[in-house]
Amino acid sequence: MTMVRKKILFICGSLNQTSMMHQISQHLDNYDCYFTPYYGDGWIKYGVNKGYGKFSILNGPFRWRTEEYLRNNNLSIDYRGEGNNYDLVYTCADLIMPKNILKKKVILVQEGMTDPENLMFYLVKYLKLPRWLASTSTMGMSNRYTLFCVASEGYKDFFVKKGARREKIVVTGIPNFDNLNKYSGSNFPHKNFVLVATSDARETYKIENRKKLILNCVKIANGRQLIFKLHPNEKVDRATREINQYAPGALVYASGDINDMIAKCDVLITQFSSTVYVGMELGKEVHSSFNIDELKRLMPVQNNGTSAERIANIGAQLIEKPETTLNEIHRKYDLQTA
C-alpha cells in the first residue's frame, strides 16, 4: 500500500523571504513541498488582478523575481495554495492571512528588520485597520498562526511589545542572518570605502528626504570613496541622478551582492535595512536610522546557519505529533531553553 505523503505550503514574498522558505524546505524531504508568491483575498486579490500593488510583494518586480527564483530552482508551484489540502503552512508575513490557511497549522518566519512604528502603525493598532496598511511594522500582530519563529530573544520581546503572544514565539534564529561571518570573504574590487544601503521608501509611498540623506553620507565619508547600493525596488535613474548631483564622484550599484560590499567597506550607512546586522557582526562602523544600542539588543542569533533546519524540525513535529504543546516546542527548540 502506497503511503500518501503529507503536504506543506510555503508562502513566499521578496527574494530574501523566498530563499529562506526554500532553505527550510530542503530539510523536509519526507514531505511534498509547494510554493506560492504572497497572496490575499477579496479586494486585495481583485486589485492585484487589475495590476495594482506593484510596489509590494503581492505584485510587480518583487513577485516577478520570486516566480523566477521558484522556476530556476525547479520548485513545485501551487498558486494561492489552491491545488492541494495542506497539513502545514509556512508564511513569510502575517500582514495578510488568506482564508484558505486560517484553519491550518501555520508557522510564521521573521524575515529580518521591520519598518519603524509611524503614525499608520498606531492607527492600525488602535483602530483595528488592516495590518498591511502599516507594512512590516505590524509583523506578528495577527496572532493567527500556530508559532512565530524569530531571530533572537531581543526580537521576541520586541514583537511581544507590539502585541504578539509570547507563548507563540520561538527563538530559532532565521536563515540568511544566522551565520553572518560567512560574508567576511569577498572579491568586491573596492576596499576602505563608505557604503550606503538605500531604501525603497519612496517607491512604497513613504516619506524620505533623499537629498538630506546623501549630504549626510558625504559628511560621514569626509573625503573617502562613497559607494551607494540601491534597493532592488528603487527607480534606478532617479536615484542615480540624485547621487550624481549631491555626491559627485560616488559610485552607484543597482545590482550585486551587498554582503560582498559590506565585507570590504570601512563604514556602512543604512536606513531601515537588515544588512546593518551584517556590518555589526563584521565589526564595521555602522550608521542606521534605528538606535544602534537597540539593534545590538535585537541582533540575530548566530548559530552557524542551522536556523532553517531547526524551523523545519518544528514543522515536522507539528505534522507528526499534532498533540505537541507549545511548552514542548519551547523546551525542545527554543534557543533560549533548548
Instruction: Write the DSSP string, 34-92.
Output: EEE-----HHHHHHHHTT--TTSTTSHHHHHHHHHHHHHTTPPB-GGG-SS--SEEEES
The number of beta carbons lying within 10 Å of the beta carbon of residue 41 is 13
pLDDT in tens, 150-199: 999 999 999 999 999 999 999 999 999 999 999 888 889 999 999 999 98
Grid coordinates given for 300: 540575530
The number of beta carbons lying within 10 Å of the beta carbon of residue 325 is 10
* For the chain, domain boundaries: 7-178+301-333, 180-298
> What confidence score (pLDDT) does residue 200 get?
84
> 7-178+301-333 and 180-298: same fold?
yes
> What confidence score (pLDDT) does residue 328 get?
94
Instruction: Report the C-alpha gap between 326 and 99 in whole angstroms.
Output: 24
> What confidence score (pLDDT) does residue 52 get?
85
Cα separations in angstroms, 17 against 90, 154, 174 = 11, 21, 10
State the Rg of the chain over Cα: 20
Question: Contact at 8 Å (CB) between 48 and 137?
Answer: no
> What confidence score (pLDDT) does residue 56 get?
86
The number of beta carbons lying within 10 Å of the beta carbon of residue 40 is 21
Of residues 191, 234, 190, the one with CA closest to residue 213: 234
Query: What is the residue-level pLDDT of the chain in tens, covering all 338 positions?
Result: 557 899 999 999 999 999 999 999 999 999 999 999 999 999 999 998 988 888 888 988 889 999 999 999 999 999 999 999 999 999 999 999 999 999 999 999 999 999 889 899 999 999 999 998 888 999 999 999 999 999 999 999 999 999 999 999 999 999 999 999 998 888 899 999 999 999 888 887 778 899 999 999 999 999 999 999 998 888 999 999 999 999 999 999 999 999 999 999 999 999 888 999 999 999 999 999 889 999 999 999 999 999 999 999 999 999 999 999 999 999 999 987 54
Instruction: Report the C-alpha gap between 90 and 11 in whole angstroms.
Output: 6
Task: Provide the CATH topology of domain 180-298.
Answer: Rossmann fold (3.40.50)
Instruction: Report the C-alpha gap between 253 and 269 in whole angstroms.
Output: 15
Place of cell 505534522: 319
Instruction: Report the C-alpha gap between 20 and 25 in whole angstroms.
Output: 9
For the domain made up of 7-178+301-333, the CATH class stated in words is alpha beta
